[in-house]
Amino acid sequence: MHLDFTDKVVLITGGGAGIGQACAVAFAAAGAKVVISDVTEQSAQETVEMITQAGGVASAVIGDVSQSASVDAMVDEAVKLHGRLDIAVNNAGISAPLLPVGETEEADYDRLMGVNLKGVWLCMRRELQQMTAQGGGNIINMASALSQRVVAGASFYVASKFAVAGMTRTAAVEYGEQNIRINAICPGFVETPLLVSSLDEEGIKQMASLHANKRLCSPAEIANAVLWMASDSASACTGNLMNVDGGWNAY
């Protein structure tokens, strides 16, 4: 299936690497004008260069999703560049040390929730303001397989992703009559450079074993799901949590 996003304006947070970068490249290849936000300028620019060298249209904006002024400026810059915001992919996220709840640290909680939950809220708030004013739009949040199940030691991450799922579904109901679709993608473990570099071969095998297909997902596979959910082919979909997890949640 060919998905056409010609002249659509797409904003992607955390677009400098991994899933965000794969989404940016895929949207640009399908004709979109992509605005890549990342907290690291070099990473965002690297994604821009990948896209422009392939003949696509992309620009970078530095954005810290945990700060409201930064988020507002990020969305405003996308609109200033292209006149509107058709699609937003709220992908930026971080992890925290794996520890039992009784051994966790307040600083780790604040940092993770500031990005994974507050960041999604701040982005959605500004994106919804823009999309309501322009008459419609499409928001896709990056949730997780851990929006629907748990892993011991990951309480902060699990809590943040459960909350993202709930916020996604609530906002979808609130804005369903305003031509704004809001959905979430729920990846399993994804073979990003960051994940692979942090694990040995046995650790990767253990993660892969949780999936029914016994392998990690690829960033491109997650991007494929994001593009489909953002397309007119998914026009009846809002308030969905779409599993792209190798069958992990089928157990």
Catalytic residues: 157
| Nearest by Cα to 104 from 146, 160, 154 | 154
Q: 33 is written with which tokens?
A: 């004008």
* Amino acid identity at 162: F
Backbone angles phi, psi at 87, to 5 degrees: -140, 135
CA dihedral 119, 16, 223, 13 (to 10 degrees): 20
Helix (H, G, I), strand (E, B) or coil at 41: helix
Instruction: Tell me the C-alpha distance between 140 and 134, whole Å.
Output: 18
CA–CA distances in Å: residue 56 to residues 5, 16, 17, 31 = 12, 16, 17, 7
Instruction: Tell me the C-alpha distance between 14 and 104, whole Å.
Output: 25
**177-201 b/e with 16+ CB inside 10 Å = b?**
eeebbbbbbbbbbbbbeebeeeeee
Judged on CB neighbours under 10 Å (0-12, 13-18, 19+), 202 is exposed
Q: Which residues contact 141 (CB under 8 A, 6 or more apart)?
A: 90, 120, 124, 164, 167, 168, 182, 183, 184, 185
